[in-house]
A and B are shown apart, each in its own frame.
Chain A
Amino acid sequence: MTQKQLKSIRRVTGFALLTAMVLMVLLSVYPALETSNNRGDLTRTEYIAGIDTPVKKWLNGYLGVFFRFEGFGNINWLVLPLLAWFFIAYPQRDRKQSALVLVWFLTTLLMVFKGYDNARYQLTLFPMTVAAVLYLLWLFLENKTKIPRVLCLSFVALLCVYNIYHHWEKYTNQWHMRVTAEKPRFPHKLVDYINNAGDIDQKNRVFTINTPLFYYHTDKPGLDYMHPDGAQAWGKMWYVLGNRQKLFRNLTRRRRVRYILVKSMHLRFYRGSILQEFLHCETRPVMEDNGWSLFKLREQPLKQHLRRPEYRRLWTWKPIKGDTAAVSPSLVRFHRRGIYSFEVKPFTGGKKKGQNKYIPFIEIRNTRVKPRYANERRINFGYELGKKGLQEKIPAGKYAHFIVRILISPRLLNNQNAIYVLDYDGKKWEQSKQTFFSNRWRTYVVSKKIRPGAKRVRFMIRFSPVD
């Protein structure tokens, strides 16, 4: 074999090995970045920054400058082996080259420690890293002939095109949002409504929760949740459980608030607060527009509201010691797949100091799984008018409200677990449904207008456990 042939074989082998190395890295990183953690208690940072698994915390987080493929392409990591080659091949370096490497390295360290949870901070290094990769690659290929250079650069171009293809849906999403406006994000209708609302003024302000949009695009007065004046109300939502009435008075009388504006997506990150319960029970939704929601506070708190003569209250709970039949004698099990236990226990959390009143709650557990129903375990239970002592009729056209306080596991915050009001007109059941929004003790309300000719009315809880 001639020298020329040997050289060619070495070149081809070298190129093949390098290509294989690159492909191996990509084939291991891409799947790792596709995993996700759907646990209900994800923090907002984990959700937005894409660091919801330990592997992603490293790839998208600490080493995000190199391996956050979605944000920064799939070739940035090449700067590491190329820099290593550069230091070996060029031991006598220019001062300016050493200075640039130093500042780049220090900035990378800064991103690793302080910017790992923010892709925007990691973006700082992106243009410089791209330029460094391409410059070093060119330096590496400078003494090579035209064909290897063309092949290498074409390979890099192909990798970039692949990354765009891999995330094509995200690119098209951005296009539809920001160019064609087919998926608009701006709440035009909501902003128009606020600007034209005659009842928003200095005495009836909007309580804004992380919504600077209100102050930029409207000329109405608001109270920010971080303002010292608003922060007290916001603090009550977090630290004073079950005190909706006090919060209501605090907002309306002391803070002159009549509306609440919040970004719907953020509500899942406030599961620890009573915000959603408050919105759910003490306000009426006015408008939801492209992810922003405006709520108007009732004229009076729900508890007071329900004492009005037009309401008829049915108590299904007795604060006494005993079993389920004693505490809630009207409770009915409608339908089940699996075996469930109902056990009365004393409520000990969230009591006011010095309160000794006995408050029982019923704990429902799935105690046995029937093999044929392993994947569709559920139990529907609740109350039905006309059964077990609930002798009441609701005239057609009137509203039935079901108010219940529930604690549920974060894994069960899904569409399969909910409370219902249903009516049956002889042909079919019609329902109103309210899913759960918190893994803490919260009050839920669901309402339904009873249809003419409704023969049966149920107030139901569906519990669908998972492992």
Chain B
Amino acid sequence: MIEFIVKFFFTGILFSLATGSFLVSRDKGRTCSPGELYLYSLGLGPVLTVLLLYYMLMLIGGGPVWFYVSLVTITFGLLLFAGRSALPLTIGAAKSFAGHTRDRFRQISGPARVERVLYWTLVFALLAAFLVIFTANTLQLPIDGHDVLVYGNTGKIYYHEKTVAYRDDLLDRDNGFYFAGSPKPSFSLLYTWELMLNDLFRPGPDPKKSSPAPGVENRDIFFRAISAYYGLLIICLTFFWLYRKNRYLALLGILVLLSGMQFFRVLFHLHLDSYRIYFLLLSWIFLAYALSKPGSTHTPPTPGAPVEKEAKKGIFLRRLPSFFQCLPQRLVPGLTAEEYFAFFLLGAFSGLTAFTHIVGIAVAGFNALAFLLFQEKNLKQRIINTLWLLFLILAFGGSHYLLDALIGARFGFTTYFAS
């Protein structure tokens, strides 16, 4: 269990918070509140880790494990450093939110107060109950689903070869595992990452791959937790958005989700569905943000929260030409600084959706089409903006399909749409 907590904290929480800080610091126009961005970023640690790993293994394959782990860790360290200005703002916002909540709680009394207490007790009790049941039971069970085993075996190949190569088929020369299709590397690389962490932090040779009796074999414990983690994040997302309308609507949303056996299974079975659907939902949220009128989504500062101070720039940064500081926005001149943030995240999340599954590449295409059709700009500007969106989609994982179609598996992804 300690091993799981360390791996999960490292990749799932620490890296996610680093990304969240960076995003909060870049959201000058306050498209979203800090809390909202941190909620979305809780799912970004693992996926950005594997995105970095994907490019590294493709471009600089064959290196030692410590090289890849260090590079990924340094990248998130840089994100945390770049987002350091968000930390005092976040702490301040959290403090003022707590104070604001306390004041509102004190204003209500009697049945209303009891109702609030019961409501949040129920929500946290459900969450706690699930976490206890899951970690004590489900997490201890070995992987037995066909598709996840294929992804896991593919991850092992990436780990053994230290490369993500595009070729006709995938063969593990050690044990004979063979895959003739078009593997989507994102989910497999989560296991590759975990094997790398095992390599670094478990001294001596790899543990014997004996039958993983409950609690004994933890070499893939982080991999086993992914489905439930992202399932919980989807529930949190749904809860968050419905809570804005009514808190009982939010509770009803949880009930409706769990009344579908397929979603219930996501929480207790190991698969990539929740992982891919989470980014799809985020891409649609930021599609809405990107098409909102500038300023309409501006989140007013929480009363009493400290005003963000511009971070002191060191000598290097003071001398950095302002052109490069504004480079991202200059590349897409049709967007204002406030619009650029939502646009960037639309591209990022659409790309990550594509990176996780083949359905995602179609959805990314639909997002781009909707963005093209519904922007409030002239045609030329819309086309330019959409082309940049497609570039972002490629950069954040869509490039896998381009490479796969050109130099990939015998049964490349294009055959899916032809069948």
A residues neighboring B (CB under 8 Å): 68, 70-75, 94-100, 102-104, 106-107, 110, 114-115, 119-124, 126-128, 130-131, 133-135, 138, 153, 156-157, 160-161, 163-164, 167, 170-171, 174-175, 178-181, 184-189, 191-192, 195, 205, 210, 212-213, 215-224, 226-227, 230
> B143, B256, B268: which contacts A134 (Cβ < 8 A)?
B256
B259 touches A128 (CB 8 A): no
B177 touches A212 (CB 8 A): yes
Task: Tell me, rounded to whole Å, the shortest Cβ–Cβ distance linking A243 to chain B.
Answer: 24
B373 touches A138 (CB 8 A): no
A138 / chain B contacts, CB cutoff of 8 Å: 245-246, 249
How far apart sit A167 and B263, CA to CA, in the bound complex (Å)?
14
B234 to chain A: closest residue by CB: A127
Known A-B contacts A100-B284, A134-B249, A153-B249; A73 and B259 likewise in contact (beta carbons under 8 Å): yes
B376 / chain A contacts, CB cutoff of 8 Å: 95
A142 to chain B: closest residue by CB: B245
A70 touches B177 (CB 8 A): no
B289 / chain A contacts, CB cutoff of 8 Å: 96
B362 touches A181 (CB 8 A): no
Task: Tell me, rounded to whole Å, the shortest Cβ–Cβ distance linking A206 to chain B.
Answer: 9
A127 touches B281 (CB 8 A): yes
CB neighbors of A among B354-387 (8 A): 359, 362-363, 366-367, 369-371, 373-376
B287 touches A100 (CB 8 A): yes
B217 to chain A: closest residue by CB: A217
Q: Which of B5-13, B35-43, B204-212, B312-320 contacts A (4 or more CB under 8 A)?
A: B204-212
B262 touches A72 (CB 8 A): yes
Q: What are 23 sample pairs from A and B whose C-beta atoms fall under 8 A apart?
A: A73-B259, A94-B292, A95-B291, A96-B288, A99-B374, A102-B366, A104-B284, A127-B237, A131-B242, A160-B255, A161-B255, A171-B261, A179-B133, A179-B137, A181-B214, A185-B144, A188-B213, A191-B211, A192-B211, A195-B209, A210-B146, A222-B175, A223-B176
B171 / chain A contacts, CB cutoff of 8 Å: 227
Task: Tell me, rounded to whole Å, the shortest Cβ–Cβ distance linking B111 to chain A.
Answer: 15
Known A-B contacts A99-B287, A153-B248, A215-B153; A160 and B259 likewise in contact (beta carbons under 8 Å): yes
Cβ of B77 < 8 Å from any Cβ of A? no
A104 / chain B contacts, CB cutoff of 8 Å: 284
Known A-B contacts A74-B259, A120-B271, A126-B260; A195 and B291 likewise in contact (beta carbons under 8 Å): no
Known A-B contacts A157-B252, A195-B211, A219-B175; A99 and B288 likewise in contact (beta carbons under 8 Å): yes
B177 touches A71 (CB 8 A): no
Residue with the highest number of chain A CB atoms closer than 10 Å, among B241, B246, B271: B246
> A94, A124, A135: which contacts B280 (Cβ < 8 A)?
A124
A212 touches B259 (CB 8 A): no
B248-273 near A? 1/0 per residue, CB < 8 Å: 11001101111111111110110101
Q: How many residues of B contact A (CB 8 A)?
A: 80
Known A-B contacts A179-B133, A218-B209; A100 and B249 likewise in contact (beta carbons under 8 Å): no
Q: Please name the 4 residue pairs, one residue from A and one from B, whose CB atoms are nearest each other, closest first.
A: A71-B262, A215-B177, A212-B149, A160-B259
Cβ of B329 < 8 Å from any Cβ of A? no
A179 to chain B: closest residue by CB: B137
How far apart sit A221 and B209, CA to CA, in the bound complex (Å)?
13
Total A-B pairs, Cβ < 8 A: 222
B370 touches A103 (CB 8 A): yes
Q: How would you classify the secondary structure of chain A's contact residues: helix, strand, loop or mixed? A: helix
> A110, A156, A157, A222: which contacts B176 (Cβ < 8 A)?
A222
Known A-B contacts A174-B264, A180-B137, A224-B176; A130 and B363 likewise in contact (beta carbons under 8 Å): no
How far apart sit A220 and B258, CA to CA, in the bound complex (Å)?
40
A153 / chain B contacts, CB cutoff of 8 Å: 248-249, 252
Known A-B contacts A71-B262, A99-B291; A128 and B281 likewise in contact (beta carbons under 8 Å): yes
How far apart sit A115 and B360, CA to CA, in the bound complex (Å)?
13
Cβ of B75 < 8 Å from any Cβ of A? no
B287 touches A216 (CB 8 A): no
How far apart sit A182 and B374, CA to CA, in the bound complex (Å)?
53
How far apart sit A164 and B260, CA to CA, in the bound complex (Å)?
8
Task: Tell me, rounded to whole Å, the shortest Cβ–Cβ distance linking A106 to chain B.
Answer: 4
Residue with the highest number of chain B CB atoms closer than 10 Å, among A106, A126, A216: A216
B363 / chain A contacts, CB cutoff of 8 Å: 103, 107, 124
B285 to chain A: closest residue by CB: A100
Known A-B contacts A174-B264, A216-B152; A106 and B256 likewise in contact (beta carbons under 8 Å): no
A195 / chain B contacts, CB cutoff of 8 Å: 208-211
B213 / chain A contacts, CB cutoff of 8 Å: 188
A94 / chain B contacts, CB cutoff of 8 Å: 292
Cβ of B29 < 8 Å from any Cβ of A? no
Extra 14 A-B pairs, beta carbons < 8 Å, given A103-B284, A135-B245, A178-B137: A70-B261, A73-B259, A95-B374, A102-B369, A107-B363, A107-B366, A121-B359, A124-B273, A124-B276, A134-B256, A153-B249, A179-B138, A191-B211, A226-B180
How far apart sit A220 and B87, CA to CA, in the bound complex (Å)?
50
A107 touches B362 (CB 8 A): yes
B374-405 near A? 1/0 per residue, CB < 8 Å: 11100000000000000000000000000000
A160 to chain B: closest residue by CB: B259
A153 to chain B: closest residue by CB: B252
A205 / chain B contacts, CB cutoff of 8 Å: 176
How far apart sit A185 and B376, CA to CA, in the bound complex (Å)?
54
How far apart sit A186 and B156, CA to CA, in the bound complex (Å)?
20
Residue with the highest number of chain B CB atoms closer than 10 Å, among A73, A138, A187: A73
